[in-house]
Amino acid sequence: MNELLIRGRVLTFVAEPQGIDDTASYRYLEDGAVFVRNGKIVETGSYGDIRKLAGANVEVVDHRPNLILPGFIDTHLHFPQTQAIASYGAQLLEWLNTYIFVEEQKFARAAHAAEVADRFMDELLSNGTTTAVAYCSVHPESVDAYFVAAEARGMRMIGGKVMMDRNAPEALRDTPQQGYDETNRLIEKWHGRGRAHYAISPRFAITSTPEQMEMSQALVAEHPTCYVQTHLSENRDEVAFATSLYPEAKDYTDIYARYDLLNERMLLGHSIHLSDREVSVFAETGAVGVFCPTSNLFLGSGLFDAARFDKFGARWSVATDVGGGTSFSMLETMDEAYKVLHLQGQRLTPFNSFYRMTRGNALALGLEHQIGSLQAGADADIVVLDSGAKSAMEFRMRTATSLAEELFILQTMGDDRCIAEVYVAGKAMKTKDRKRQATAP
Ligand code: GUN
Ligand code: ZN
């Protein structure tokens, strides 16, 4: 039996915060502890209570005065774009053609995919992200590399092979039948193996013919426990091009709706330039709009309207969208999210930001019983945050008087340097890294 008691200031959410004073939405324990057994959380509570429960012989890791939270969750990014972050000067369609479709061709080589997959997973963990939903490249080998790297670290990861059969270089195109067959084989191989989940991934309407959309429709119908992911209404030129390719559709959202792709396991990246009708379709179907603030600013795409999603009762999540996104850090992502909403006269409270990165994103994935909280029975995926990791933060923290203020400083000034430790299924990953480095020749 593998037991561990993790001690520190503990914060976990139980509901969506309704304002900066909504103390009922979270549990905060000044001297708290999380008791972990065999990769799962047995109980979370005050150190005194948990110590009694765990017994005198349990191993204790004392993280005081650091903050202990559920590991962060990233609901949209591209693993083959890890080395294409910071590609200069273009908006979406030009950026895809100039940089991304060139970069993704490298993933025909399995050795390259394996090398990048390892770096990708390590980058997520060093930023405190323990679960992510990623696009792989069109090559099935890239999906193998992705899940092998996740499995080696014990991470709960979601991903899938991009399907695209037009408007991309020939080396990156599959066919409707090939996309269907390869996706089927990959689902059989990976979906439900250990902590892996598969996401059926038609890239977007521009790169899929109606025939490929029909194949996606079949895949979604045949695999109701798989996720589905695509891109929607990120950029105005993209919207015009996509709707011109599907003239029978009412609007961009209707392209996907006509192929029955919209359901509560569907993640639609960006979802910016939408009509009220389209947002109401999100609400009716339970589909999730994915807010990718660093990407939307970097590619000059537009501003996600979270208040409108809320008004219609539609679901939304947050994500980095690396490599359109400029950082793997969910802290930096929420910093930009705050600014994007602020520009539109909307407020994202510090509690809401931390809720979104954890329980909110878990709910968007229907995984709230496994991840995104520190409740008994959940997976022990945990992040430990140091609010004084940078000297400017440490200096600023001297004047902070509340938890809300501390969280806002973490999100506004923080990055991977604030990740003091990250646990995946109860295993400390940073300490392990340090040991690995220490024994290297
Ligand atoms: N739309 C279609 N593919 C992509 C991609 O790789 N990144 C972004 N940001 N948008 C897309
Ligand atoms: Zn994307």
Domain boundaries, the chain: 3-71+375-428, 72-328
Q: Check pocket membership of 355 for ligand 1, CB cut-off 6 A.
A: no
Atom of ligand 1 nearest to the CA of 321: 9
* pLDDT, average across residues 207-232: 98
Give yes or no for residue 434 having a pLDDT over 70. Answer: no
pLDDT range class, residue 432, cuts 50, 70, 90: low
Quick check: ipTM above 0.85? yes
Q: How many A from CA of 324 to the centre of ligand 1?
A: 7
* pLDDT, average across residues 198-224: 98
Query: In a mutational test of the pocket of ligand 1, which residue from 81, 83, 92 has the highest number of ligand atoms less than 8 Å from its CB?
Result: 92
Distance CA 404, CA 270 (A): 28
Check residue 43 and give its pLDDT: 98
Give yes or no for residue 119 having a pLDDT over 80. Answer: yes
Closest CA to 13 of 357, 341, 332, 383: 357
Q: Give Cα separations from 412 to 87, 224, 295, 387 (angstroms).
A: 24, 39, 17, 11
Give yes or no for residue 244 having a pLDDT over 80. Answer: yes
Mean pLDDT, all residues of the chain? 97
Flag the least confident range among 205-214, 288-297, 345-354, 423-432.
Answer: 423-432
Atom of ligand 1 nearest to the CA of 269: 10
Q: Give Cα separations from 232 to 101, 204, 431 (angstroms).
A: 18, 7, 40
Q: What are phi and psi of 261, to 5 degrees?
A: -90, -15
Give yes or no for residue 436 having a pLDDT over 60. Answer: no
Distance CA 230, CA 252 (A): 12
* pLDDT, average across residues 293-312: 98
Q: What is the pLDDT of residues 20-53, one digit of tens each?
A: 889 999 999 999 999 999 999 999 999 999 999 9
Superfamily of domain 72-328: Metal-dependent hydrolases (3.20.20.140)
Query: In a mutational test of the pocket of ligand 1, which residue from 93, 100, 172, 241 has the highest number of ligand atoms less than 8 Å from its CB?
Result: 100
**What global pTM score does this model have?**
0.97
Q: Check pocket membership of 63 for ligand 1, CB cut-off 6 A.
A: no
Q: Give Cα separations from 9 to 67, 190, 372 (angstroms).
A: 5, 37, 17
Q: How many A from CA of 99 to the centre of ligand 1?
A: 11
Q: Check pocket membership of 76 for ligand 1, CB cut-off 6 A.
A: no
pLDDT range class, residue 373, cuts 50, 70, 90: very high
Q: Check pocket membership of 197 for ligand 1, CB cut-off 6 A.
A: no
Superfamily of domain 3-71+375-428: Urease, subunit C, domain 1 (2.30.40.10)
Q: What is the DSSP string of 280-328?
A: HHHHHHT-EEEE-HHHHHHTT-----HHHHHHTT-EEEE---BTTBS-S
pLDDT range class, residue 437, cuts 50, 70, 90: very low
Q: What is the pLDDT of residues 400-412, one digit of tens each?
A: 999 999 999 999 9
Contact 160, 143 (CB under 8 A): yes
Residue that is written with structure tokens 């959410």 in the block: 13
